[in-house]
Amino acid sequence: MSTKSSEEILSANQNPRITWEGCSVLLDINDGDRVLFARLTAGSKVKIGNKNCSLQPLIGCPFGSSFQVEVGEEGPFLSRVVPSTEGNNLGEKMDCQNMEECRDNRTLVDNNTAQSLTSEDIDDMRRKGATGDEIVEALIANSSTFEKKTAFSQEKYRIKKQKKYAPGVLLRRPFARRIVHASLAELQPSHSETSTSIDQLEDACDKESSPASDLVNMEESSNVNLETVSNLAASPKTNKSIKAGEKAPLEAIKSWKENGFSSLIIAAPDLDAWSIVKELVPLLSYSAPFVIYHQYLQPLATCMHNLQTEKMAIDMQISEPWLREYQVLPSRTHPHMQMSSSGGYLLSGIRITAIDQPQPN
Amino acid sequence: MLPIDPTKKLSFNRCIMYGDLVIVYERYDSMKPVKVSENGVLQNRFGVFKHSNWIGKQFGSKVFSSKGGFIYLLAPTPELWTLVLSHRTQILYIADISFVVMYLEIVPGCVVLESGTGSGSLTTSLARAVAPNGHVYTFDFHEQRAASAREDFERTGLSSLVTVGVRDIQGEGFPDEFLGRADSVFLDLPQPWLAIPSVAKMLQQDGVLCAFSPCIEQVQKSCETLKTYFTDIRTFEVLLHTYEVREGNLGSWQDSDGCLGTLKSCKKRHRSTNGLENSSPQTILARRNSEARGHTGYLTFARLKCDM
User: Are B87 and B34 within one domain?
Assistant: no
The pLDDT value given to residue A201: 54
Residue A228 phi/psi, 5-degree rounding, is -60, -50
pLDDT at residue A18 tops 80: yes
pLDDT per position as a tens digit, A283-292:
898 999 999 9
Question: CA of B152, closest CA in chain A: separation in Å?
Answer: 20
pLDDT at residue A182 tops 70: no
User: Are B136 and B19 within one domain?
Assistant: no
Measure the CA–CA gap between A90 and A93, rounded to whole angstroms: 5
B1 domain-assigned: no
Assess A204–B contact: CB distance below 8 Å, yes or no. yes
- Nearest-Cα residue of chain A relative to residue B101: A203
User: Are B119 and B213 within one domain?
Assistant: yes
Q: What is the DSSP letter of B97?
A: H
- Provide the pLDDT confidence category of residue B183 given band limits of 50, 70 and 90: very high
C-alpha distances in angstroms, A236 versus A5, A149, A181, A239?
Answer: 9, 50, 20, 6
User: Are B59 and B151 within one domain?
Assistant: no
- Provide the pLDDT confidence category of residue B177 given band limits of 50, 70 and 90: very high
- Nearest-Cα residue of chain A relative to residue B75: A287
The pLDDT value given to residue A22: 87
Closest CA to B210 of A170, B219, B201: B219
Residue A168 phi/psi, 5-degree rounding, is -110, 155
pLDDT at residue A236 tops 70: no
Contact B62 A355 (CB under 8 A): yes
pLDDT at residue A336 tops 70: yes
Assess A202–B contact: CB distance below 8 Å, yes or no. yes
pLDDT at residue A165 tops 90: no
Question: CA of B251, closest CA in chain A: separation in Å?
Answer: 20
Q: What is the largest CA-CA distance in chain A?
A: 92
- Nearest-Cα residue of chain B relative to residue A304: B245
Lowest model confidence (mean pLDDT) among A328-342, B9-23, B83-97, B150-164: B9-23
Contact in structure between A347 and A321 (CB atoms under 8 Å): no
Contact in structure between A132 and A165 (CB atoms under 8 Å): yes
- Between A122 and B13, the more confident residue is A122
Closest CA to B107 of B87, B89, B77, B131: B131
The pLDDT value given to residue B84: 95
B58 to chain A: which residues are within 8 Å by CB?
285-287, 353
CB-count exposure of residue A252 (10 Å: 0-12, 13-18, 19+): middle
The pLDDT value given to residue A26: 87
A304 to chain B: which residues are within 8 Å by CB?
245
B73 to chain A: which residues are within 8 Å by CB?
287
The pLDDT value given to residue B157: 92
B203 domain-assigned: yes
Lowest model confidence (mean pLDDT) among A60-69, A325-334, B200-209, B260-269: B260-269
User: Are B216 and B262 within one domain?
Assistant: no
Contact A286 B58 (CB under 8 A): yes
Q: What is the largest CA-CA distance in chain B?
A: 80
pLDDT at residue A224 tops 80: no
Question: Once rounded to an integer, what is the mean pLDDT over residues A168-193?
Answer: 57
Residue B78 phi/psi, 5-degree rounding, is -55, -35
A353 to chain B: which residues are within 8 Å by CB?
58, 60-62
B166 domain-assigned: yes
- Provide the pLDDT confidence category of residue B267 given band limits of 50, 70 and 90: very low
Contact B300 A314 (CB under 8 A): no
- Between A178 and A205, the more confident residue is A178
Assess A234–B contact: CB distance below 8 Å, yes or no. no
Question: CA of A267, closest CA in chain B: separation in Å?
Answer: 17
A314 to chain B: which residues are within 8 Å by CB?
25, 28, 72
B4 to chain A: which residues are within 8 Å by CB?
212
User: Are B190 and B283 within one domain?
Assistant: no
pLDDT at residue B104 tops 80: yes
Most confidently modeled range among A95-99, A258-262, B207-211: B207-211
pLDDT per position as a tens digit, A118-137:
888 888 887 787 778 888 88
Contact in structure between B128 and A289 (CB atoms under 8 Å): no
A319 to chain B: which residues are within 8 Å by CB?
95, 240-243
Mapping DSSP onto H, E and C, the string for chain A reads: CCHHHHHHHHHHCCCCCECCCCCEEEEEECCCCEEEEEECCCCCEEEECCEEEECHHHCCCECCCEEEEEEECCEEEEEEECCCCHHHHHHHHHHHHHHCCCCCCCCCCCCCCCECCCHHHHHHHHHCCCCHHHHHHHHHHCECCHHHCCHHHHHHHHHHHHHHHCCEEEEECCCHHHHHHHHHHHHCHHHCCCCHHHHHHHHHHHHHCCCCCCCCCCCCCCCCCHHHHHHHHCCCCCCCCCCCCCCCCHHHHHHHHHHCECCEEEECCCCCHHHHHHHHHHHECCCCEEEEEECCCHHHHHHHHHHHHCCCEEEEEEEEEEEEEEECCCCCCEECCCCCCCCCEEEEEEECCCCCCCCCC
The pLDDT value given to residue A100: 54
- Between A162 and B284, the more confident residue is B284
CB-count exposure of residue A280 (10 Å: 0-12, 13-18, 19+): middle
User: Are B31 and B167 within one domain?
Assistant: no
Measure the CA–CA gap between B203 and B114, rounded to whole angstroms: 12
Question: Once rounded to an integer, what is the mean pLDDT over residues B118-130?
Answer: 95
Question: CA of B241, closest CA in chain A: separation in Å?
Answer: 5
Helix (H, G, I), strand (E, B) or coil at B304: strand
B96 domain-assigned: yes
The pLDDT value given to residue B308: 60
In chain B, % of residues over pLDDT 70: 88
Measure the CA–CA gap between A171 and A79, rounded to whole angstroms: 12
Helix (H, G, I), strand (E, B) or coil at B114: strand
Contact in structure between B124 and B1 (CB atoms under 8 Å): yes
Assess A259–B contact: CB distance below 8 Å, yes or no. yes
Identity of residue A237: K
pLDDT at residue A335 tops 60: yes
- Nearest-Cα residue of chain B relative to residue A258: B13
Assess A149–B contact: CB distance below 8 Å, yes or no. no
Using alpha carbons only, give the angle A172, A177, A179 rounded to the nearest 5 degrees: 65
Which residue segment(s) compose the domain that B265 sits in?
A: 243-288
Measure the CA–CA gap between A110 and A187, rounded to whole angstroms: 38
Contact A206 B102 (CB under 8 A): yes
* Nearest CB to A353 within list B58, B125, B223: B58
- Nearest-Cα residue of chain A relative to residue B297: A324
User: Are B178 and B255 within one domain?
Assistant: no
- Provide the pLDDT confidence category of residue A232 given band limits of 50, 70 and 90: very low
In chain A, which among 38-97 make CB contacts under 8 A with chain B? 62-66, 82-83, 87-88, 91, 95
- Between A290 and A263, the more confident residue is A290
B223 domain-assigned: yes
Identity of residue A148: K
Measure the CA–CA gap between A332 and A329, rounded to whole angstroms: 5
pLDDT per position as a tens digit, A82-110:
765 444 444 444 444 455 566 777 777 77
Question: Once rounded to an integer, what is the mean pLDDT over residues B20-37?
Answer: 93
Lowest model confidence (mean pLDDT) among A42-46, A327-331, B160-164, B189-193: A42-46
Closest CA to B219 of A335, A328, A331: A328
**Average pLDDT along chain B:** 88
B220 to chain A: which residues are within 8 Å by CB?
328, 330, 333
The pLDDT value given to residue A195: 40
Contact A177 B216 (CB under 8 A): no
Total domains in the fold of chain B? 3
Measure the CA–CA gap between A172 and B68, rounded to whole angstroms: 58
Measure the CA–CA gap between A10 and A8, rounded to whole angstroms: 5
B137 domain-assigned: yes
- Between B195 and A233, the more confident residue is B195
The pLDDT value given to residue A160: 85
Assess A352–B contact: CB distance below 8 Å, yes or no. yes
Which residue of B10, B15, B223, B300 to mutate against A (max A Cβ within 10 Å)? B10
A305 to chain B: which residues are within 8 Å by CB?
245, 247, 284
- Provide the pLDDT confidence category of residue B206 given band limits of 50, 70 and 90: confident
B245 to chain A: which residues are within 8 Å by CB?
301, 304-305, 318
pLDDT at residue B111 tops 60: yes
Q: Examine the fold and report which residue of B76, B104, B126 is the final residue of a domain before the chain moves on.
A: B76
- Provide the pLDDT confidence category of residue A341 given band limits of 50, 70 and 90: confident
B237 to chain A: which residues are within 8 Å by CB?
323-324, 326, 335
Domains with residue ranges and CATH for chain A:
3-82 (3.10.330), 89-166 (no CATH), 176-351 (3.40.50.150)
Question: CA of A315, closest CA in chain B: separation in Å?
Answer: 6
H or E segment and range at residue B148:
helix B143-155
The pLDDT value given to residue A261: 85
> What CATH code is carried by the domain that includes residue B95?
3.40.50.150
User: Are B208 and B270 within one domain?
Assistant: no
Contact A301 B25 (CB under 8 A): no
- Provide the pLDDT confidence category of residue B4 given band limits of 50, 70 and 90: low
Contact B243 A320 (CB under 8 A): yes
The pLDDT value given to residue A234: 32
Please report, in angstroms and rounded to a whole number, the separation of the first and last CA atoms in chain A: 53
Question: Once rounded to an integer, what is the mean pLDDT over residues B31-56?
Answer: 94
**Average pLDDT along chain A:** 73
The pLDDT value given to residue A161: 84
Measure the CA–CA gap between A208 and A50, rounded to whole angstroms: 42
Q: Which residues have CB under 8 Å from A338's CB, separation 6+?
A: none
Do strands B203-213 and A289-294 pair parallel, antiparallel, or not at all (unpaired)?
unpaired
- Between A85 and B94, the more confident residue is B94
- Provide the pLDDT confidence category of residue B271 given band limits of 50, 70 and 90: very low
pLDDT at residue A227 tops 90: no
Question: Once rounded to an integer, what is the mean pLDDT over residues B109-137?
Answer: 95
Measure the CA–CA gap between B8 and A313, rounded to whole angstroms: 24
Assess A260–B contact: CB distance below 8 Å, yes or no. yes
pLDDT per position as a tens digit, B139-160:
999 999 999 999 999 999 999 9
Contact A202 B9 (CB under 8 A): no
Lowest model confidence (mean pLDDT) among A351-355, B170-174, B197-201: A351-355
Contact A318 B245 (CB under 8 A): yes
User: Are B175 and B72 within one domain?
Assistant: no
What is the number of other CB atoms lying within 10 angstroms of the CB of residue B299? 23
Lowest model confidence (mean pLDDT) among A58-62, A353-357, B14-18, B106-110: A353-357
- Between A163 and B233, the more confident residue is B233
> What CATH code is carried by the domain that includes residue B60?
3.10.330.20
pLDDT at residue A223 tops 50: no
A199 to chain B: which residues are within 8 Å by CB?
98-99, 102-103
User: Are B88 and B176 within one domain?
Assistant: yes
Measure the CA–CA gap between A45 and B194, rounded to whole angstroms: 44
Mapping DSSP onto H, E and C, the string for B155-175 reads: HCCCCCCEEEEECCHHHHCCC
- Provide the pLDDT confidence category of residue B277 given band limits of 50, 70 and 90: very low
Contact in structure between A154 and A101 (CB atoms under 8 Å): no
Assess A129–B contact: CB distance below 8 Å, yes or no. no
- Provide the pLDDT confidence category of residue A356 given band limits of 50, 70 and 90: low
Measure the CA–CA gap between B188 and B114, rounded to whole angstroms: 8
Measure the CA–CA gap between B282 and A240, rounded to whole angstroms: 46
Contact A302 B284 (CB under 8 A): yes
The pLDDT value given to residue B173: 96
Question: Once rounded to an integer, what is the mean pLDDT over residues B72-95?
Answer: 93
Contact in structure between B93 and B105 (CB atoms under 8 Å): no
User: Are B263 and B143 within one domain?
Assistant: no
In chain A, % of residues over pLDDT 90: 16
